[in-house]
Amino acid sequence: MAVTEAVLSPSEAGTVAAAGSRRFRLVDWFTFIYFGVNTLLLVHPNRPPNWATLLLFHLAFLAGVPLLIKFAGRHRVIGFLRDWYPILGLFFMYNELQYLNRVLTDRYFDPLVIGWEQRLFGHQLAVDFRRWAPWKALGEALHFGYFSYYFNLPALFIPLWLSRKYREFRIAMGVVAGTYYFCYLWYVFFPVTGPYWQFQPLPDPAAEGWFFPQLANTIVHGGSSRGSAFPSSHIAASVAVLGMAGRYLKPVFRLLFVPVVLLCLGTVYGGFHYGVDALAGLAVGLLAVRYGPGLVIRHDFGRA
């Protein structure tokens, strides 16, 4: 049965936003599953040394989300946090992966993924792509695409919020946050560091461009969470954002389309991801765009 989306008047949209803020949404259940599973790792005998700090973070979400839902209608700030919390915690969720993925295994699965890469492409694309096209203008453009990732979420969600498209905001939030949750949970059980940490010497940013290669490499070297390469959440989430923009904000879709395409290529060109990381991330993102909105609409709005 096809999922339908009715167009709401401004007054109906306000009613949806007020009433829907006090119910459990699909993204709330995703949040409880994600933090519930990862909290169990923190009582595992092989838990990381900083387990107490991580546990406080997890308990803050597990206890805080029901409170946000219950009191969302009491104050604008609480209502704002209730709607935005799934992506406000992404930085901390990403950072803790390097500790959580050491609980159940003491290995990284790069040799397996490198074998997939060789069998599928006959090359290690994270190394050979730059050799095939060693042009600084191309490297600059592809690294710009990689860096544009950090603007994708605000480019989608801020306009939806400011234009009071609360229903569309909630659907997009469920799809995009669910995409992140899936990737991050996968990394806990199947950690892969990626070619940036496996192949030496590291790419020379000065040979790849003038500004964005240096910036992207600085970010990856200083802020990467080891073991979060397969599938590429950069690509999965960016494709999900692009798909939601195509559904609800056509101008944003047109704005993001080229940067997202450059990002998909740049993750491999810059040596940050294997080619199979990129393909897997693309598959996750496309599946999220294809099936995610229907799941959110059926659960949150009961319309099918």
pLDDT 10s digits, 98-154 = 999 999 999 999 999 999 999 999 999 999 999 999 999 999 999 999 999 999 999
What pLDDT score does 154 carry?
A: 97
With vertex at residue 164, the alpha carbon angle to CA 151 and CA 90, rounded to the nearest 5 degrees, is 35
What pLDDT score does 221 carry?
A: 85
Please name the helix (run of DSSP H) or strand (run of DSSP E) that holds residue 246, with its range, or none: helix 233-248
> Does residue 203 fall inside a structural domain?
yes
What pLDDT score does 203 carry?
A: 80
- The tally of domains found in the chain comes to 1
> Does residue 5 fall inside a structural domain?
no
> Does residue 45 fall inside a structural domain?
yes
> Does residue 156 fall inside a structural domain?
yes
Q: d(Cα 170, Cα 76) in Å, to the nearest integer?
A: 16
- The whole domain housing 126 covers 10-301
Average pLDDT taken over every residue of the chain? 91
Give 287-290 contacts, CB < 8 A, sequence gap 24+. 288/175, 288/176, 288/178, 288/179, 288/182, 288/236, 288/239, 288/240, 288/243, 289/175, 289/239, 289/240, 289/242, 289/243, 289/244, 289/247
Cα separations (Å) of 179 from 85, 141, 285, 292?
Answer: 15, 26, 7, 9
- Tally: H helices and E strands in the chain: 16, 0
Q: Given CA atoms 59, 60, 65, 68 in this order, what sign does their dihedral have? A: positive
What pLDDT score does 11 carry?
A: 40
> Does residue 211 fall inside a structural domain?
yes
What pLDDT score does 250 carry?
A: 97
pTM of the full predicted structure?
A: 0.91
> Does residue 3 fall inside a structural domain?
no
> Does residue 214 fall inside a structural domain?
yes
What pLDDT score does 6 carry?
A: 46
What pLDDT score does 14 carry?
A: 46
> Does residue 4 fall inside a structural domain?
no
Query: What residues of the chain score a pLDDT lower than 70?
Result: 1-22, 303-304
What pLDDT score does 8 carry?
A: 46
What pLDDT score does 303 carry?
A: 57
